[in-house]
Chains A and B, each alone.
Chain A
């Protein structure tokens, strides 16, 4: 744990303040202003995982029966629900940090305008990633409420899934933001969609990691896998030492991507 806190201390604070991290919340303020008129777009992102969940309960669950997780047997929908919750946090974060950031960066030139003020590149990067994280968190809260209503939460520990989803959102928002700084145009958004699908399907989302056999190590490369494992543990209220590793993986990815993304945006905007 101490290693991470050192990284956290060294990289973002001194590094990001060098890139002008002082008022990232202004970026969020701008988005709240813009989305007041388009709140429907925000809400719509919540439905996709919800429909998946309903289909799992209605059909697939009956066919599959119970699944064994950490030595316990749980109904299939209770197995899949936490994974879908983690996925919805990922979706919210990715969609905002890629397509919307690309639009603001290359076409609307929102950041160029902001950087003519005391705002700095790190304000833009941290502000955008925070906004994407917030959006992912909104979906996670909605999803958890639905899970509770459907009787899929097992204890109050399920609430712990919310901060975990914030971490997942942070991870994917940082990755999405960095990736977007390398995009040449809209056609590159296809790459995002192509990458998201296998991530969603093969992060031990729909079947336990044991079923991947010799390919389990590939699954472990997916950041979503670590997120899914954490949300599942929260929902079951089962705590193991391996959870610390999962959280560390996400944290380290976030920190590195965030610092790298800030550097990239500085290069792009302050030529």
Chain B
């Protein structure tokens, strides 16, 4: 097994009297796409900022490429690319100037900056917008430019904090495809997301974070197999009445969960569960059988849905 690219042990982050990250252990292998999954406030972004060497750890050890961020922060940052949660593009510069100056921050020669910028604009499908002012770009274009910018130093590790939040479905798919290409090129990626489908699409392995702690770890498939049933039956009884019908499904599947808008019944055979529900005289407004997803894993582990 190769040396892990990131090793964190008992990593904590405190802000005054608030503990955002409460001691986590993480290892990321070279070439892997690793995800931090969790709701807002779970400590994902604080963790990412520590890994990006822009926020010192309050406690615990962190090593990237075998180096300590507290000692070799600049050396580590020279080898990573960062796509922050909110775009920090330079709005006073054009699209290609954003790439040039970023390359200069990494001490690349002007000629090299231009060469790489041309390639990256191609990669980000922004070649025809090279001279545009950044402000006039769409959300998806800005995001692609952020990713292009993070690649200017040809990083071995790419950190993406909620890469597709706020993008429309089409823009998300374009972005996912670009990230997949990078994976094929061997770029290690660490990303945070609160989108289940994104985590399932992109991540080889992920951890579920809640309230500053890691509550589960594995591949998307492993997590679903371990924490959920094969299928889920969703029953909608109409607003305000789900509470009252919830208890009547006891024993139909392995377990059940009452949400404000629906009742979830976890069962390996969803159709059989539905038949049993009908047999008991339950008449939901609508019923749906689907495969278990990471959303269900999250619900089980934290008792809350991710959208909260």
Interface residues of A, Cβ cutoff 8 Å to B: 20, 22-23, 26, 29-30, 33-34, 38, 108-110, 112-120, 269-271
Contacts and interface: CB of A to CB of B under 8 A. Distances in A.
Interface of B: 15, 49, 52, 54-56, 73-75, 77-78, 82, 84, 86, 88-93, 97, 100-102, 104-107, 153
Nearest to A120: B74
B90 A271 contact: no
A117 B77 contact: yes
21 contacts: A23-B107, A29-B101, A30-B90, A30-B101, A33-B93, A33-B100, A108-B91, A110-B90, A112-B88, A113-B88, A113-B89, A116-B52, A117-B77, A117-B78, A117-B105, A118-B74, A118-B105, A119-B105, A120-B74, A269-B54, A271-B55
Contact of A34 (B82, B93, B102): B93
B92 A34 contact: yes
Contact of A109 (B52, B88, B97): B88
Nearest to B101: A30
Given A34-B93, A108-B91, A20 B105 contact: no
Contact of B54 (A23, A29, A33, A270): A270
A117 B153 contact: yes
A129 to B, nearest CB: 18
A116 B77 contact: yes
A26 B104 contact: yes
A42 B102 CA distance: 24
Given A30-B101, A34-B93, A108-B91, A117 B106 contact: yes
Contacts of B90: 30, 34, 108, 110, 113
Nearest to A23: B107
B77 A118 contact: yes
Contacts, number: 70
Contacts of B84: 112-113, 116
A118 B106 contact: yes
Given A29-B104, A33-B97, 17 more contacts: A20-B73, A26-B101, A26-B105, A108-B88, A110-B88, A112-B84, A113-B84, A113-B88, A116-B77, A116-B88, A117-B153, A118-B75, A118-B106, A119-B105, A120-B74, A270-B55, A271-B15
Contacts of B153: 117
B104 A109 contact: no
B73 to A, nearest CB: 7
A193 B82 CA distance: 38
A118 B195 CA distance: 31
Contacts of A269: 54
A109 B55 CA distance: 16
A144 to B, nearest CB: 30
B93 A22 contact: no
Contacts of A109: 86, 88
A267 to B, nearest CB: 11
A118 B67 CA distance: 14
Contacts of B89: 113
B175 to A, nearest CB: 19
Contacts of A29: 101, 104
Contacts of A114: 105
Contacts of A119: 74, 105
- Residue among A109, A115, A116, A269 with the highest chain B CB neighbour number at 10 A: A116
A33 B106 contact: no
